[in-house]
Amino acid sequence: MASHARPRPAGTRVAGIRTPALATAALTSVALLSQTATAAPSTDDKPSLEEVEKKVDDLYRQAESATEKYNSAKEKTATQRKEVDTLLDDVAQRTQKLNEAREELGSFAAAQYRTGASAPDTATFLLADTPQDYFDQTQLMGRMTDRQKGAVDDYISAQSATMKKRQEATESLETLTDSQADLKTAKATVQRKLSAARELLSQLTAEEKARLAAIEKKKQEEAARKAAELAEQQKAAQQAAEETAADEAASSPSTETSTDSSYATKADKALAFARAQVGKPYVWGATGPDSYDCSGLTQAAWNAAGISLPRTTYDQVNFGTTVSLANAQPGDLVFFYDDISHVGLYIGNGMMIHAPKPGAYVREESIYYDGESAIHSVVRPA
């Protein structure tokens, strides 16, 4: 008797397992889905807040470094422009003298022509490339009067001086053009870095900005702790120095003490000025009175104390005497980063007054605001 059981179609389940046909199709689908998932962009690629903060800080630092280059180029351009103006004025005056000497020679030539005396020689003289070229080929000087010889000498001298000054003016103009190009490049770099930083911050959500603020607060707390430690170390060192001085029982103040007293007086004036600027905005390239960049603030502060600091951090770091951080006194300049792109005015107890960065204001802050490794050196400017 024939069986009535129907044949089982290929690919149906047997004990919960797919037959090879469907299994192969399923595995193929899974592989394709896996590849698609791998190729698709992931939201996990978004940088962490710590990475964003580091990138923004780096951009601000690069902008500040470019700002100091801008300040240097601006100062050089201003100096070069004054030199060019002076040279051009000098050239104009010498050209006038040259014209007067030429007119006097022309009057001699006209007189000789009217009297018929040496007219061809004088005409040849006036048409020569230079007076000296002519005199090297003729004996005209021997036939001239003392007054004529004096006029020729004046003309040669005026022509030589004018040509020399024109060359100096040309070279100075070329240098000015280079300085202006450097100025333009530095300005564009600052603006590009600041725009990139603003773009990164604009992409953060309100929650992310709040978390970023919390990270910054934690950094500030650590910086304050380090400042307090330095303050204790300096206090202990000061007490030890005072005890040593007392034990020596010197009959009169030493030169060093007198010098320290003089410095403290000047530093007090610089600090008083700096404190009066607290709350004013950081603006790159600014030197006051309504806004400052970092070196613009320190320059203005010490200028109030009668000390003329250079404009840029690169020059300020070489103005004065380098001292150790442990021996830092109020008024000293604290420089930051390997490229010396930031500076603040030390006020004691591990704190300083500085113009921090774009978007911030002049403020008192720990010198450890960006970590201990960021501190480059301390300089006493007077």
The catalytic residues are 294, 342, 354
| 9/31 Cα distance (integer angstroms) | 26
Q: What share of the chain is helix, strand, coil (3-state, %, to 5)?
A: 65, 10, 25
CA neighbor of 61 nearest in space, from 197, 232, 177: 197
Residues 6+ positions from 305 with CB-CB distance below 8 Å: 266, 267, 269, 270, 273, 331, 382
Phi, psi (5° rounding) for residue 292? -145, 155
3-state secondary structure of 262: helix
Rounded Cα distance, 63 and 316, in Å: 19
d(CA 212, CA 49): 6
Is cis: bond before 381, omega within 30 of 0?
no
Helices (H) and strands (E) in the chain, counts: 9, 6
C-alpha span between 339 and 63 (Å, rounded) = 12
CA distances for 213 relative to 198, 279, 371, angstroms: 16, 20, 17
